[in-house]
Amino acid sequence: MSTIHWIEAQPRSARWHSESGLPLPRRVVVADDRMRAAVAYRLACEGTALLWRGDFQNARQLLRAMDRRVGRAAPGAAQTPAETFRLYRRFRAHRARVIGKLLVVLEEDHTLALRRAPDVGRACAEAYGSSDGPVAVALTELLGVISAREWRESGVYVPALGARIHPHYGVFAPTRSEYVDLAARAPVPGPGMRAAFDLGTGTGVLAALLARRGVGRVVATDVSARARACARDNVRRLGLGRVVRVTGPELYPDGRAGLVVCNPPWIPGRPASDLDLGVYDAGGGMLHGFLDGLADRLEPGGEGWLVLSDLAERLGLRSRAELLTAIEAAGLRVVDRLDTRPRHARVRDTHDPLHAARAAEVTSLWRLAVA
């Protein structure tokens, strides 16, 4: 177990926890409302963690001030999209390390003993589970936990589903619903579809959509225990518990299905958190696992639906030939392809160094069958 140590009248310690893999702070100093942003930023850049003991709202202001200082070093566009992406990721990692040096301590009952601190007990219990003693976390992470509780409470309305999906902490929210729209438009193969698999279900949104479209039985899988719990919660909320079964951590469940759906990550990169698992996959393992197992898991006349963004191609990190070769090598053929453009806010952010690629991005649903 990783533990941080500091002096506060006497030696103290707490268990260190970081969802994004931030390293254990080796040097910790106590900070409060007297801490100036310039000093905090310098200490954080030097690798010193700041354990906050002042007003909670002042801590948030200090965090924003530190973030503004980090932002001054943000890279612009490089000579190629791939190099721009690499510089951008490097900067994001640097930013996370620096502002992640501002820490708070959650007491044994998940309380935050700071002036004007919100009640974070329920949010932390949902994100972290039961507490077994004081835990030190980055303030940025705690703010993410609080935000996740709000998302979970209010939910995300998905037009194609005609209902709200409630994401849990660490599970990718379907805020970009264009991929759900594609699954709603694609023709379900054959009349009276008996069974479908949803691989990497996340919140369970595609499994729920298939059930709403009349599929008799849907088996949804995910490697993440958080995602499985989230999907089960959404299935229950939607009254689809008799149709959708959630399992894992294996990619494919037992048996065969007339339809297998998968929306894998396809941008090469090391995931730094559970959320990153929905975006980055250095070796494309999930995509290849889906393709390589599909022919043996489809019923006669069945289809696999591969939902994939071409952002990695537009950034020069993957190639269309690589994808088509993998499809052919798996003994599959392309029946059809449905395309859609993104509608999220980042498409319109011209200050984003990756704006050109994001604005041109196309998300596709590839209908695959056995060759």
pLDDT of residue 360: 85
pLDDT of residue 281: 86
Q: Which of 140, 132, 134 is nearest to 18 (CA)?
A: 140
pLDDT of residue 219: 98
Q: What is the mean pLDDT of the chain?
A: 92
Phi-psi region of 74 (alpha: psi -120 to 50; beta: other; left: phi over 0): beta
Hey, CA dihedral for 30, 35, 41, 43, is it positive or negative?
Answer: negative
Per the CB < 8 A criterion, the answer to whether 304 and 294 are in contact is yes
Q: Which of 191, 202, 325 is nearest to 261 (CA)?
A: 202
pLDDT tens digits along 100-126: 999 999 998 899 999 999 999 999 999
Q: Is the peptide bond preceding residue 353 cis, with omega within 30 degrees of 0?
A: no
pLDDT of residue 345: 65
Structure token digits, residue 295: 């022919």
- Cβ contacts of residue 93 below 8 Å, gap of 6+? 272
**Distances, alpha carbon 128 to alpha carbons 109, 147, 246, 359, in Å:** 12, 14, 21, 36
pLDDT of residue 1: 66
Spans of the chain below 50 pLDDT: none
pLDDT of residue 139: 98
* Residue 91 parent element (H or E): helix 81-99
Structure token digits, residue 362: 């196309």
